[in-house]
Amino acid sequence: MNRRVTLVEVAPRDGFQPIGPFIPSEEKVAFITQANAAGLHRIELGSFVNPKAVPQMADTGEVLRRTAALPRLDAQVLVPNARGVADALAAGARHLVYVISASDAHNRSNVRRDTAVSIAEYGAVLQTLPAGIAIRLNVATTFDCPFDGRMDAGLVLERLAQMLAFRPDVEVGLCDTTGRAEPEQVGSLVRECLRRWGGTTRFAFHGHDTYGLGLANVSAAWQAGLECFDAAFGGLGGCPFAPGATGNVATEDVVWMFQRMGVETGVDLQELLGLATRAAALPGASPGGRVRTALASATRCA
């Protein structure tokens, strides 16, 4: 198991996107600046999607520009299609998170086309991509789909093989979109992915804590050999197209767990807790996670 892990902070994208009241760009920039200062140098800071569908992400270009000079920041932005890629590159993005759902039903709900069509489009996009653009390929509904239920691992691996045939040297995010993955399933799929493609492809786990399995799944993925995990400060999150799927696993919970395990994250937990507490208080937010409140009450009782 890896004694040093990388956390990708996704609250500015996955955490903020379901929040109704628009968070001013300045406030988004402040959160990103503080997260970076706390040691979270990989941050998914927005998405280039239809602003009518996800209005909270309409200022991603602005946020990207205003955080460009932050030291050590590796800023990634989510793109669901060729148009999003073009918009992201025009705005100066150097690290793209291309999202495709393993399940046709979720992909149709998300981007109105079958998974196979999205995979072909992804292949075409790669051919026109300028040099030096890093790719995270997020495979949504890797374990479970809000419409189709538990995913067949064979189908997921087949679709992954199609995506990786275009270009194997990417980072793949195995995304538990609904929070209904369970640790045995996560461990088993991670081991199989590493066995097949571990030599050339980097894998990451993106989990939600909707059913309380957030840390159990992160732990299972880590045990199976992963060293890169998505998380959102304050446990913010949710997918606007996955009913009931609220709450990314909280970054502070993940940091706390790894600290207890003696695994290095590079994150300053105290700074992160301050940030998470402010994020949890955002109007319209549905915060999650346990460590924030547990440490607050422990302090009160001590």
Per CB under 8 A, residues contacting a second copy are 1, 150, 179-180, 182-185, 209-216, 218-220, 223, 243-244, 246, 250, 253, 256-257, 260-261, 289-291, 294-295, 297-298, 300-302
Residue closer to a second copy, measured from CB, 127 or 297: 297
Give min distance, CB of 143 to a second copy, in A: 10
CA 100 from chain center: how many Å?
13
Of 27, 16, 17, the residue nearest 50 (C-alpha)? 17
Among the listed residues 155, 168, 10, 161, the one whose alpha carbon sits nearest the alpha carbon of residue 77:
10
Residue 74 CA to its chain's centroid (Å): 14
Comparison of 92 and 243: residue with beta carbon closer to a second copy: 243
Give alpha helix (H) positions in the chain: 25-37, 60-66, 82-90, 104-111, 115-128, 153-166, 183-197, 214-223, 251-260, 269-280, 291-301
With respect to a second copy, which residue has the nearer C-beta, 59 or 209?
Answer: 209
Min dist. Cβ of residue 3 to a second copy (A)? 11
Write out the two tokens for 259.
């600290």
Structure tokens belonging to residue 161: 């093989």
- In angstroms, the CA 77 to CA 262 distance is 31
Is 301 known to be catalytic? no
Least distance (Å) between residue 255 CB and a second copy: 11
What's the token pair of residue 205?
A: 């786990």
Token pair 């590159």: residue: 89
User: Got the DSSP string for 163-209?
Assistant: HHHH-SSSEEEEE-TTS---HHHHHHHHHHHHHHHTTT-EEEEE-B-
- The count of other CB atoms within 10 Å of the CB of residue 164 is 18
Quote the least distance from Cβ 243 to a second copy, whole Å. 4
Shortest Cβ distance from residue 135 to a second copy (Å)? 30
* CB nearer to a second copy: pick between 131 and 302: 302
Q: Under 8 Å CB-to-CB from 265, ≥6 apart: which residues? A: 4, 5, 7, 39, 254, 255, 258, 259
Nearer to a second copy, 63 or 279 (CB): 279
Query: Rounded to the nearest whole angstrom, what is the least distance from the CB of residue 63 to a second copy in the complex?
Result: 29
Catalytic hit among 175, 193, 239, 301: 239
Nearer to a second copy, 52 or 260 (CB): 260
- Active site residue ranges: 239
